[in-house]
Structure 1
Amino acid sequence: MLLQDLKPLTRAPLIDPFGRKISYLRISVTDRCDFRCVYCMSEHMQFLPRQELLTLEELDRIASAFVARGTRKLRLTGGEPLVRRDIMQLFRTLSRHLETGALEELTLTTNGSLLSKYAQELADYGVKRINVSLDTLDPDKFREITRRGDLKVVLDGIAAARRVGMRVKINAVALKGVNDDEIEQLMLWSHGLGMDLTLIEVMPMGEIEAGRVDQYLPLSVVRSRLMDRYTLIDDPYRTGGPARYVRVKETGGLVGFITPLTHNFCESCNRVRLTCTGTLYMCLGQEDAADLRAAVRGSMDDTALFQAMDEAIARKPKGHDFIIDRRQSKPAVGRHMSVTGG
């Protein structure tokens, strides 16, 4: 009998060498996306052959192993997770951990292009909160950033998610000279609809056509600009991720800041990331990884899988090596963000 067929087991939690309990697993279910955002992908991406991807059953098996070892939050990412064929099957099977109480939250990060199609099903499978990546409210600029996206489709998807009762958080990458003049507008729009906003510094991952030094906008600058017009009050709210939040007194909403370059929060990192090929990255900003696919495909028993997980977490580093510098022409990490998952 496999682990995924059992009721939740009491097993030793996964704890890294620095005493951090691993309670959050992000799973990239595909490296494919229907957008080609300029800070994330090359315009002409070469995607993985489909035969290299874990099956949905294998993804479920690994996720269930993490749940058995104390993971309380699963986030499905991509690429764009909703473009994966039959992806609702995985949400359905993983939702059993919500029903037993072994899992606290099942969620996803999406570009919103397929939310209108899947919002009701996601809600039915226990997804109560989602992140939607949206960097601009200007239709022309949106198409330029995504190279092919339709802003109206995404806005309709957000509306569909809100109609079925899901809480939506907007994620926006701060891009110098692109959307830096829109951040206030994004905040007011998000808060006006009862949605929080998280701002993210561009990350040096993978070769792209644009220079990331030219894209990089420190969020310390953004925060300073917002403070010129609004009252920002530090807030203890946490979602399990790296964002640190302030509440905007004038709107009542939250703004989060993810600052891997100007100020990282590695000391409290409780996350690991699984790729669609079964590679486990213990840190987003480091290349060291573990092969869980071999453990899953090598045995029907989960002993080898648990052992591989233990060995991987024992190598989790204290922090990442992200840096953006004009003297450093190559990205800090060779793989694209779409490979690892957001």
Structure 2
Amino acid sequence: MNPILRDNFGRTIDYLRLSVTDRCVLRCQYCMPKGFKDFAEPGGWLSFEELTRLVAVFARLGLRHLRLTGGEPLVRRDLPVLVRMLAEIPGLEDISLSSNCMRMEKLAGPLAEAGVKRLNVSLDSLRPERFREITGGGRLDKVLRGIEAAREAGMWPIKINTVAMKGFNDDEFDDLIAYCVEHGYALRFIETMPVGDTGRQALGSYLNLQRVRQELVERHGLVPASMVGAGPARYYRVPGSETRIGFITPISQHFCATCNRVRLSCEGDLFACLGDEHRYGLREPLRAGCGDEELAEHVLAAINLKPERHEFNERQEKVVRFMSMTGG
């Protein structure tokens, strides 16, 4: 089967973000409400075999890059087993992981050995009390040890993802840059997005990263740069180091024209756009016993739902699901 994953606007889709669970050990303010318990039932989650079969169909259609997300993917029991199964799929070139790293210290070795190559870490503050506040009780020391364990296990590059929030962590940007330069990590600042009620509430702390970028470029002498697996980020290099600073700007300067990704929930719903509520259910045909060719037709039909662009600015109320359902 020739690579044919292309949407109605000519964009090649070669990147899948696969949510293996919607559960998480943290409650970040912009992602999930405190006390939220309306999670998908484990019986509705796709099994490892079902996930592997679907990804294999995607790969035959041209998928090359896979990122495991959640919720928090390390909550899914026996995750290294799934990674090992996925790593054997022909045509799949890269498996990466997005994590808060609260459970990474023990799992880094098994995950890297199974096939995880790269890591993105959610880290919005380097101050323990502030980190605990934004995450609803998270421990910064555990996260930092988890990141170090991932580096020692061979995951590289490691990208630190920081949601930029006015009046909360905008006084830490220089500290975050210094931390990443010290350890050789990349740093990506991300604008808040109106995904779910929590995301819309977080817009009260919205920071336009166009201005932040200009300030940091001038203060640190940042120079334009590229990076492997850049995705939607626009990167700059910190002079005298290999550290890249990226800016992800879905609100102030969207990147929809070059979007190459779709998202699959743990229940088998394919979301063609993070900023759209349309979903295509793949679990029912999968469990109904359809063959791979028929599954491929369902995947292609789902890709055709991908809109030309999101409407975060025009229709902030549009996306009602929480970010944890699709892993960002």
> How is 1:66-85 mapped onto 2 (pairs within 5 angstroms)?
66-85=58-77
Q: Which runs of 5+ in 2 are unaligned?
A: none
- Take 1:193 and 1:173, find their aligned partners in 2: how far apart are those partners? 20
Which residue of 2 is the match for residue 322 of structure 1?
312
In the TM superposition, residue 240 of structure 1 has moved relative to its aligned partner by 5.3
In the TM superposition, residue 224 of structure 1 has moved relative to its aligned partner by 2.2
Which residue of 1 is the match for residue 263 of structure 2?
273
Which residue of 1 is the match for residue 7 of structure 2?
16
In the TM superposition, residue 187 of structure 1 has moved relative to its aligned partner by 1.0
Instruction: State whether residues 120 and 164 of structure 1, in contact with CA within 8 Å, keep that contact through their aligned partners in structure 2.
Output: yes
Q: Is 2:321 aligned against 1:340?
A: no
- Take 2:230 and 2:85, find their aligned partners in 1: how far apart are those partners? 23
What per-residue deviation string (whole Å, max 9, x for no partner) do you get for residues 124-170 of structure 1? 12222110110111000010010111100001101111112212111
> How is 1:162-177 mapped onto 2 (pairs within 5 angstroms)?
162-167=151-156, 168-177=158-167
- Take 2:199 and 2:106, find their aligned partners in 1: how far apart are those partners? 32
Secondary structure in 2 matching 1:18: coil
> How is 1:35-46 mapped onto 2 (pairs within 5 angstroms)?
35-45=26-36, 46=38
What per-residue deviation string (whole Å, max 9, x for no partner) do you get for residues 89-117 of structure 1? 110101113xx5x1111011000011111
- Take 2:10 and 2:203, find their aligned partners in 1: how far apart are those partners? 35
Q: Is 2:281 aligned against 1:291?
A: yes
What per-residue deviation string (whole Å, max 9, x for no partner) do you get for residues 158-191 of structure 1? 1111112212111110011110000111011012
Instruction: State whether residues 42 and 209 of structure 1, in contact with CA within 8 Å, keep that contact through their aligned partners in structure 2.
Output: no
- Take 2:117 and 2:200, find their aligned partners in 1: how far apart are those partners? 36
In the TM superposition, residue 204 of structure 1 has moved relative to its aligned partner by 0.7
Which residue of 1 is the match for residue 248 of structure 2?
258
- Take 1:320 and 1:243, find their aligned partners in 2: how far apart are those partners? 17
- Take 2:43 and 2:153, find their aligned partners in 1: how far apart are those partners? 35
Q: Is 2:118 aligned against 1:126?
A: no
Which residue of 1 is the match for residue 211 of structure 2?
221
Q: Is 2:189 aligned against 1:199?
A: yes
- The letter of the residue matching 2:272 is M
Which residue of 2 is the match for residue 182 of structure 1?
172
Secondary structure in 2 matching 1:288: coil
- The letter of the residue matching 1:42 is P
Secondary structure in 2 matching 1:272: strand
Instruction: State whether residues 210 and 252 of structure 2, in contact with CA within 8 Å, keep that contact through their aligned partners in structure 1.
Output: yes
Which residue of the other structure, out of 77, 92, 110, is the alignment partner of 2:84?
A: 92
- Take 1:156 and 1:12, find their aligned partners in 2: how far apart are those partners? 40
Instruction: State whether residues 296 and 302 of structure 1, in contact with CA within 8 Å, keep that contact through their aligned partners in structure 2.
Output: no
Please identify, of 227-236 and 313-322, the stretch whose mean Cα deviation from structure 2 is larger.
Answer: 227-236
Instruction: State whether residues 24 and 240 of structure 1, in contact with CA within 8 Å, keep that contact through their aligned partners in structure 2.
Output: no
- Take 1:320 and 1:37, find their aligned partners in 2: how far apart are those partners? 23
Which residue of the other structure, out of 132, 141, 149, is the alignment partner of 1:152?
A: 141
Which residue of 1 is the match for residue 234 of structure 2?
244
Which residue of 2 is the match for residue 52 of structure 1?
44
Which residue of 2 is the match for residue 139 of structure 1?
128
- Take 1:202 and 1:64, find their aligned partners in 2: how far apart are those partners? 33
Please identify, of 290-299 and 203-212, the stretch whose mean Cα deviation from structure 2 is larger.
Answer: 203-212
Secondary structure in 1 matching 2:119: strand
What per-residue deviation string (whole Å, max 9, x for no partner) do you get for residues 207-233 of structure 1? 139822312111112112212311122
Q: Is 2:18 aligned against 1:32?
A: no
Percent sequence identity over matched residues? 47
CA 1:331–1:148 in structure 2 vs 1: closer, same or farther (change >3 Å)? farther
Instruction: State whether residues 279 and 289 of structure 1, in contact with CA within 8 Å, keep that contact through their aligned partners in structure 2.
Output: yes
- Take 1:209 and 1:130, find their aligned partners in 2: how far apart are those partners? 24
Which residue of 2 is the match for residue 111 of structure 1?
100
Which residue of 2 is the match for residue 65 of structure 1?
57
Q: TM-score normalized by structure 1?
A: 0.91
- Take 2:61 and 2:200, find their aligned partners in 1: how far apart are those partners? 41
- The letter of the residue matching 2:11 is R
- Take 1:37 and 1:302, find their aligned partners in 2: how far apart are those partners? 38
- The letter of the residue matching 1:142 is F
In the TM superposition, residue 287 of structure 1 has moved relative to its aligned partner by 1.1
Which residue of 2 is the match for residue 234 of structure 1?
224
| Matched positions, count | 326
Which residue of the other structure, out of 295, 305, 312, is the alignment partner of 2:295?
A: 305
- Take 2:151 and 2:227, find their aligned partners in 1: how far apart are those partners? 21
Instruction: State whether residues 217 and 223 of structure 2, in contact with CA within 8 Å, keep that contact through their aligned partners in structure 1.
Output: no
